[in-house]
Chains A and B, each alone.
Chain A
Amino acid sequence: MFTTGSKLLFGASGVSLVGTLLYGILVGGIMGTVGLVSLTTGLIFIAGINAFIRDANVASDDVSQFSGSAAAAPRPGSSVWPLVVAVGGALIALGVVIHEVLTITGLVVVLAASAEWLLQGWAESASSDEVHNREVRGRLAYTAEMPVAAAIGLGLIVFMFSRVMLGVPTKASTIIAFSIVATIVLVAGAVISRARSMSAPRMFGLFAVVSAVLLAGGAVAGFNGEREIKEHKTTAYYAANDKCGEKEISADEHASQTVAGKANSSAEVTLDENGLSYTRPGLNMVQSGVIQLPRSNANNILFRNETSEPRRFIAEMANVDGSPARICTALVEEGGVQLLTVNYSAPSFDPVVEELGGYAFVVAGLDDRIEVIVP
């Protein structure tokens, strides 16, 4: 009925009409509206003319005239690409007005659809056998289409699944993950055992249902938004940005980088009303005053603040050139825990270190200290 060219133009007109209406209602700038209205009117006009002259192809009306010539080979099959190109074009135009993401999407759509269009056109003229032509097209196109489709499909699965997992509470996410794995195993088992008696449409149907569920779940979860997730910044981040100064910032005690350190601490220092004390894993005893740590080794020290004031934990060190050095945690609120990793390269009896007052753990604003002995 409609020729290929007029399909393109009708599609473009339709989309730009919708775009114009949306823009007029939602945004309503005068310049934009006038431009879009002109564009739409122009497109509708051209589309009308094109439909009337049947793509300027007299032959398409009169099959009997040229049977035997290549052009008389079967009528081109139906094609979705003109419509897609039109949509893409409209997206580009809309994007210019609304957001650049739309423009880029439109560009990609136009390019991909144009390529498909070209390919289809080329394949349809390969021979006069439609089945053969489809095969030829498939063979050329699948090498590109399949990987891209698989990537998009996998990406979509991952994305949608991540929306679901981010949407539900932490504990539920575990349960959901395991139920999904169990379902996949069961369904896959069932499918495998019946694989030979399952028809392709049924198999396809199954996948369609699964995809639909996933898409729906993802859409719902995406719409609901993510559960509340705390932003994690590490001690190192704060230490680096604050330089043990006065700026009052506090770090998140759940910062992921500290997990391994916490599980492998050399000591846990606690500040309470009685001052600084520490316990060491493996030894069930509270100590204070002096602590011994190995040299040339990364020692993870946990600092726990049990007082009501926010406190900063500082390790006093020394540089090899004899200048003092200190590293510290961020301010720790009451009940908070922070990790500090200290590595001493010189022994504590080194005169250079002793001159600086030795190694120690202190808390800003308090006199109490723990001397650090490094053999």
Chain B
Amino acid sequence: MSHEKVHYRTICNSEHATSSLENMSSRGFRVATTVAGVVATTVLAGCASDAPQDTWKPAGPNAQKIQDLQWPIFLTAGVVGVIVMAFIAFCVVKYRDRGQAIPDQAHGKAWLEYLFIAIPAVILTAIAIPTVGVVMALNDTDDTECVINVTGQQWWWEYDYEVGADGTICGYAPSEVAASPIITSGQLVIPADTKVLLRGTSRDVIHSYWIPRLNGKRDMVPGRVHFLRLESDTPGIYAGQCTEFCGLSHANMRMETVVLESAHFQQWIDNELEPYQAPAEGSLAAEGETTFIAQCSRCHQVNGLVDPGNGNLVVSYPDQFVYSGAAPNLTNFLGRNTFAGATWDLLTPECRTDVWESSPGEFGDKYLAGVSQDCLNEIDLREWLRNAPAKKPMYADPAMLEQSDGKVRGMPYLGLSEDQIDQLIAYLLERK
């Protein structure tokens, strides 16, 4: 499985062509060189190898279509830019006032003017035709193989996996039928080599779903249903960020798409649908369960959780407390490795690097292992449990909720004691 990365072409091949063009303007006019430098840098920016949201490093056919369309256009723009700069530089140097006579007061030359309308017109037509083609191709959803519902809210993403009429999820049959379908947040897990269609909307303001290495962005608008195709054949974790300004914590609304090959995806589904296992009696985690039911379960659902006190199934009603009407489902919280809008890592830096930068072949197993006690990034998680709105700006101050009917937007300060936090972490460590 090592050949995939090769066929995703990047602009880097054209690097030499661009810099030789740049030399044309070497007559020393400073502005022109500065500018050419900027243009060249712009073009070359696509070559960086390692920013996780690099828009020039496609890892799937949708992003590849965009890449194939845009790099010749960037190149053309760069070349045109350099030619114009060179032309300006030439005029500036050649026609500097050296005491020559006052030039003819001619008002133009018709043929030249037409020529300079024709040239851009031709270039732009050449750009327009493939553009229309790619727009249509990217919006074609007829061959969809898997549908996942995506819902944005301030400031996190929720995913629920549709169970098809044949009882499968994206074509994978779960080993046991659970009462509740898979519902996760932050990290979207999709099978490799599958044409996934995100059917997105929003519960409050407009958000935008963007995984740069898999496709362009698409706004998720309340009251509307929008679609976005994602597909990749390379297992791995692909970073993204909400790109439509969505209020206070817009910067802290992130997401990742995790691509797993089919065996691993099957494993992931089975794990997600596994029945709830209560912590061993008397353990710290069991105390954590009690604390969770008392403090968290009003908003956060853990599927299958039964209150040992009365034997009832615990069902959360976030719509009574949260303005958007939802809070992340925590059934398999530590099966994911980021939290709070995918903004903070649940893994320590070393473990994170190990998972995020592992090879496609090894990735699946490492990801499915979830977050272990040793790898848990307790610092951020503890800070979060101590005082969430202090870590991530949210509208959660009870005194200031007059305008949103007393409902919070985000997670409020809960006043948990350190003991309670210890218990909760122990409890959560088993949620994977």
Contact = CB atoms under 8 A, between A and B. Distances in A.
A312 B220 CA distance: 32
Contact of B182 (A294, A346, A350, A375): A375
A260 interface: yes
Given A282-B141, A375-B183, 15 more contacts: A260-B223, A282-B147, A282-B199, A283-B141, A284-B141, A292-B149, A292-B160, A295-B326, A296-B326, A297-B151, A320-B317, A346-B317, A373-B181, A375-B180, A375-B182
Interface residues of B, number: 38
Contacts of A352: 315
B208 interface: no
Contacts of A289: 165
A265 B225 contact: yes
Contact of B203 (A260, A297, A349): A297
Nearest to B202: A297
A289 B163 CA distance: 11
Pick the 10 closest A-B CB pairs, nearest first.
Answer: A296-B325, A375-B183, A287-B165, A264-B224, A349-B179, A375-B160, A375-B181, A345-B319, A350-B315, A282-B141
Task: Tell me what chain A mostly uses at the interface: helix, strand, loop, or mixed.
Answer: loop
Given A264-B225, A297-B201, A282 B165 contact: no
Interface of A: 260, 263-266, 280-285, 287-290, 292, 294-298, 300, 320, 345-347, 349-352, 373, 375
A347 B160 CA distance: 12
A250 B222 CA distance: 29
Contacts of B326: 295-296
B199 A296 contact: no
Contacts of B181: 292, 373, 375
B180 A347 contact: yes
A265 B225 CA distance: 7
B319 A264 contact: no
Contacts of B312: 351
A265 B227 CA distance: 12
B271 to A, nearest CB: 16
B225 A345 contact: no
A350 B313 CA distance: 8
A283 B146 CA distance: 9
B398 interface: no
A300 B183 CA distance: 21
A294 B149 CA distance: 7
Nearest to B141: A282
Given A282-B227, A351-B312, A296 B324 contact: yes
Contacts of A298: 222-223
Interface string B289-331: 0000000000001010000000011010111000011100100
Nearest to B303: A349
Nearest to B145: A283
B422 interface: no
Contacts of B404: none
Nearest to B226: A264
Contacts of A300: 225
Interface in B209-246: 222-225, 227
B197 interface: yes
22 contacts: A260-B224, A280-B147, A282-B147, A284-B144, A287-B164, A290-B163, A294-B151, A294-B158, A294-B160, A294-B201, A295-B326, A296-B325, A296-B326, A298-B223, A345-B319, A346-B315, A346-B317, A347-B315, A349-B179, A349-B303, A351-B313, A375-B329
B142 interface: yes
Give the most central of A265, A288, A346, A347: most B CB within 10 Å: A347
B345 interface: no
B162 interface: yes
Contact of A292 (B144, B163, B201, B227): B163
Contacts of B158: 294
A345 B317 contact: yes
Contacts of B162: 292
Nearest to B304: A349
Contacts of A290: 163, 165
Contacts of A263: 224
Contacts of A375: 160, 180-183, 329
Given A281-B227, A375-B160, A349 B165 contact: no
Nearest to A263: B224
A285 B180 CA distance: 23
A324 to B, nearest CB: 18
A15 to B, nearest CB: 58
Contacts of B147: 280, 282-283
A292 B317 CA distance: 19
B354 to A, nearest CB: 32
A302 B308 CA distance: 43
B109 to A, nearest CB: 26
Nearest to B183: A375
